[in-house]
Chain A
Amino acid sequence: MSLTPQLLVVKDLSTTFDTPAGPLAAVGGVSFDLNQNETMGIVGESGSGKTVLARTVMGLQPRSKVTVSGSVLLNGFEVVGASDVEKQKIWGLQVAMIFQDPMTSLNPVMRIGRQIDEILRVRLGMDRHAAKARAIELLELVGIPSPAERYHVFPGQLSGGMRQRVVIATALAGSPQLLLADEPTTGLDVTIQAQILNLLDEIKERMKMSVILVTHDLGVVATRTSRLIVMYAGRIVEMGSTRDVFVNHRMPYTRALLDGSPKVSNPSHTRLLAIPGRPPNLLKLPPGCSFAPRCSFATDRCHKERPELQPANTPGHTFACWNPLPTNRGASA
């Protein structure tokens, strides 16, 4: 792992929103790194801070009412504290982001070709003809049929799946090394979702990119990521290779997520192991482990002291829990 240079190093990153009800720690003390040409998944339920984390890595926050501390080092560039002018040098060229709703990420009154052109002309300084040729190439790359004709259509004339392909094309225009995909397939049908995820895999290999896949759906990350981060209430509760997190997880919340989702391979009417309660209010986080109020293994210590990430048996696998699940349970999960 030490041979390949790390593309992204995140250290002790916190994002706190200043709300009328007090400071809200959407992301609290998150550290991780990402290698070149690696796909990492970030999973969690709504409100777990996964989207805020991705946006903070990208350097996208409103200027006021947000406090960011820690460090995000992208290819040697410190994102935290950089001005917008400085960040514009990396946006699109080193890091790009695709969002959940492809309709709102595209300008509805601008032809799709022009939206891709814009990046090529402004960021890469291409002239009009070169930009158009490259935009058509990009549309072809993301699998849009008859790209030369589609160059002239408006986003509203395309289906959801096609729009997401256009969004991916705009993200790829500056050949970024890191692509942040925030719930890229959530609004899409299963057959279209499979197409888009395959496309992302293919492009990642072809363009030698790294991808961070943010999602609530464990199925999306199970076979497509090499490492996985599980977030709960703004913190990383477990992190490791995808296999370790799925099979040898130590944190009870990770198990609850896995047991709570119905599986196609299980017979019908299999009782789901649901955990009671719901995620905590981020304004009133419990002093100890955030998951303790819902955890069946919780002890006094869990309610009082917050567990830090500690290493598990396999290198690179860490978890934050005082009473972890036993190891070597085999592949029965």
Chain B
Amino acid sequence: MSDTRQPLLRVRDLTVNFGSHRHPLSAVAGVSFDIYEGETLGLVGESGCGKSTTGKALMRIVEPSSGSIELEGVEITTQKGKALRNLRTRMQMIFQDPISSLNPRRRAKDIVAEPLDCWKSVEGDERTALVNDLLSKVGIDPIVYGNRYARQFSGGQCQRISIARSLAMRPKLLICDEMVSALDVSIQAQILNLLEDLKAEYGLTLLFIAHDLAVVKNVSDRVAVMYLGKMCEIGPPDTLYDAPEHPYTQFLLGAALEADPDSPLHGEVLVGEPPSPMNPPSGCRFRTRCPFATDKCAAEEPLLVEMAPGHTVACHYPLSLSRT
């Protein structure tokens, strides 16, 4: 069903390598996915799985080593100079630590106005009106708080200002990298609700990167699971959470703790820790911790296969086949 739509962002075989020639480290090892206009793609995985690097590579904050990224049909990876700067107004990023993403010695209204001033898109009264509008949209009263310095705001308020700044150029794509993980529960709920409202109002498309499975499910239209630089599974949240296809997704969900005293204590806990990306296992990268791994998993790398419309998995032995 989603195939008929034109993707806003099309990523194919994206790889990002760090380290030297002698000791290469592939943080992202051939990842492909699409984000359709107006949807939220959630990207989950444990630390070191390459989810943040993927987000940064889309912005070209880190340089992709190979692969293709197309935004609205335009190849991003080969752009340079002014063309790249132009492209970046179409996508914006919000980071995890709200306090360090803002200059503590600048005023809230100046922070939000900076993208506008860089591009000289609006000036004078129009600029002031737009800044005030953006600040009120994120719940910061521009008259009372507009002249305060970033250092005078709490974490939740700083994250609101970051959101206002990212919306200033009316981007199509917003990349949110762990944007609520540093916030307290009650503030997190406020920011997540705000994001849903702004997404509808501004017609945003989101890539929502987070490690918290409950948060990702709450905001996403589709969820992608990454492990050690590879995509494991992509699917609609309700099916992916109820009937995961990849064993890793199942273990990840089993380990997630629900704030409910009646939730069953999931017996099976994944043993061991992720291997080093310096020396990834052959074949399927999850096989060293997977209870269902066979010789085939060591020899052949599983490719993403569509199990149901819109639900793809990279596993030789998807769980739905063993369930029946």
Mark interface residues in A53-68 (1 if CB within 8 Å of B CB, else 0): 0000000000000000
**Which residues of A line the B interface, CB within 8 A?**
45-46, 159, 161-162, 189-195, 197-198, 216-220, 222-223, 242-243, 246-247, 256-276, 278-279, 331
Interface string of B185-215 (1 = CB under 8 A from A): 1111110110010000000000000011111
Instruction: With CB as the reference atom, state the residue of chain B lying closest to A46.
Output: B184
In the bound complex, CA of A260 to CA of B183 (Å): 12
B317 within 8 A of A: no
B81 at interface by CB-CB < 8 Å = no
CA A276 to CA B240, docked complex, whole Å? 32
Tell me whether A258 and B259 are in contact (CB under 8 A).
yes
Contact among B156, B237, B255, B263 for A223, CB-based, below 8 A: B263
With contacts A193-B255, A268-B220 taken as known, whether A261 is within 8 angstroms of B193 at the C-beta atoms is no
Task: List the 9 closest A-B pairs by CB distance, nearest first.
Answer: A219-B257, A274-B189, A218-B259, A260-B189, A262-B218, A189-B46, A194-B255, A45-B184, A272-B189
Q: Nearest residue in B to A160 (C-beta to C-beta)? A: B47
Q: Is the CB of B265 within 8 A of A223?
A: yes
User: Given the complex, which residues of A lie within 8 Å of B190, measured CB to CB?
Assistant: 274-276
Chain B residue nearest in CB terms to A244: B261
* A-B contact list, 20 entries, CB within 8 Å: A162-B273, A189-B211, A191-B251, A195-B270, A218-B259, A223-B265, A242-B261, A246-B260, A247-B261, A260-B185, A261-B259, A262-B215, A263-B258, A264-B256, A267-B237, A268-B237, A269-B218, A271-B193, A274-B190, A278-B154
Counting chain B residues whose Cβ lies within 8 A of the other chain, the interface size class is 35 or more
Q: Is A274 a contact partner of B193 (Cβ separation < 8 A)?
A: yes
- Return the contact of A263 from the options B186, B187, B188, B260 (Cβ within 8 A): B260
Which residues from chain B contact A222 at a C-beta distance below 8 Å? 257-261, 263
B186 touches A257 (CB 8 A): yes
Indicate whether B241 reaches chain A with its CB closer than 8 angstroms.
Answer: yes
A193 to B252, CA, bound (A): 11
**Taking the complex as formed, is B168 at the interface, i.e. its CB lies under 8 A from any CB of chain A?**
no
12 other A-B residue contacts (CB within 8 Å) besides A256-B186, A259-B189: A189-B46, A190-B46, A191-B269, A194-B254, A222-B257, A246-B260, A247-B261, A262-B217, A263-B214, A265-B263, A267-B237, A271-B196
Contacts of A216 in B (CB 8 A): 184-185
CB distance from B2 to the nearest CB of A (A): 16
- B265 CB to nearest A CB, Å: 5
